[in-house]
Each structure stands twice: as structure tokens, then as C-alpha cells.
Structure 1
Amino acid sequence: MRMQEATGSAVYRLRGSEGEWRVDADGEVGMAYASKEAAFEAAVAAATNAIRDGYDVTITVPGAGASMLGTEDTGRPGPAEG
């Protein structure tokens, strides 16, 4: 579940909507998670191994109003709004 680029970086992107969140890494989409938080925890676990191996790590998690394919707006305010 690791995206490796020439610069030695690992990039993890969460995609989906409630009940069907996935971690996209290296063009491959992993298993489905019931919540965004569960998918994030899986991405962090994978990122921990990448850090240990010396990679730069990026984890992207869309907000409620994000325009990433497959996300939904829950209507809840974000941390800066609530």
C-alpha cells in the first residue's frame, strides 16, 4: 500500500464516502473501511512503516466539502468553523 516515487516518498490518499472509505497508494486502492477514521488509521500504520524505511510521507484526507471524487458533504462544520 505504498506509493514510491523517484524522490523516495510515500503518498496515501483517502477516497470514498461513509461506509466505503479506501486508501489509495501507488495507484492501487486498498480494502474498504466503514469510516474515514478507520481508513486514516490504516494509512497511518502504512505510513509508519514507510517512515521507518526512510521515505518522505504524505497523507491526504478530504474534508467534508472537498471536491475529491467520491467524497460527500456531511454538512457538519470543520474544526475552524465549529
Structure 2
Amino acid sequence: MGKAYYDIVGTDDSWGVRHDNDPVGDYASKEAAFEAAVLAATNAIKFGHEVRITVPGSDSSETALGVVTN
């Protein structure tokens, strides 16, 4: 069984989905990126993979590259 991890990453006006450490897509909202990740995760589930989707909260300091800033 494989693993399929999807991380929603971005800023206020540009969001993407990081899968296998590669950011993919250009979405106008965090919600749109999440919906895209759910569609991809649905296919992964059909193939029997373990699935994880993470979405940062509004107070997160993570940037589009996944780097935490202080």
C-alpha cells in the first residue's frame, strides 16, 4: 500500500497543492486548492493508498515553499 500526501500551500492570492514535494496548480483560494486535493485523494483511495491532506490555518506562518518564518 502506498501513501499519498497532499499539503495545501500558498499565500492570500495564490494557492497550490504539494504532492511528493512538488507544488502543483495555481488556485485563487485555499478552498479551491483543497477541492483539487480531495479529487486527487479520491483516486489514491481507489488504488488503496493511505491518504493525508493538510491545510494551514489562517494564522500559519508557512509560505508557499513550506518554510516557516519567524
Scaled to the shorter chain, the TM-score interval is 0.7 to 0.9
Number of the residue aligned with 2:21: 27
Highest RCO, 1 vs 2 (Cα 8 Å, sep ≥ 6): 2
Structure 2 residue aligned with 1:58, among 48, 52, 59?
52
Q: How much has 1:67 moved relative to structure 2?
A: 2.7
How far apart, CA to CA, are the structure 2 residues paired with 1:58 and 1:10?
Answer: 7
Q: How much has 1:28 moved relative to structure 2?
A: 1.3
TM-score under structure 1 normalisation?
Answer: 0.73
**Structure 1: 5+ residue stretches without partners:** 1-6, 72-82
Deviation track 1:19-76 (CA, whole Å, cap 9, x = no partner) reads: 21000001211111000000000000000000000000000000001132249xxxxx
What is the count of residue pairs matched by the alignment?
65
**Structure 2: 5+ residue stretches without partners:** none
How far apart, CA to CA, are the structure 1 residues paired with 2:62 and 2:2?
Answer: 25
Structure with the higher fraction of residues in strand conformation: 2
Q: Return the index of the structure with the highest Cα Rg.
A: 1
TM-score under structure 2 normalisation?
Answer: 0.84
Runs of 4+ in 1 over 6 A off after TM superposition: none
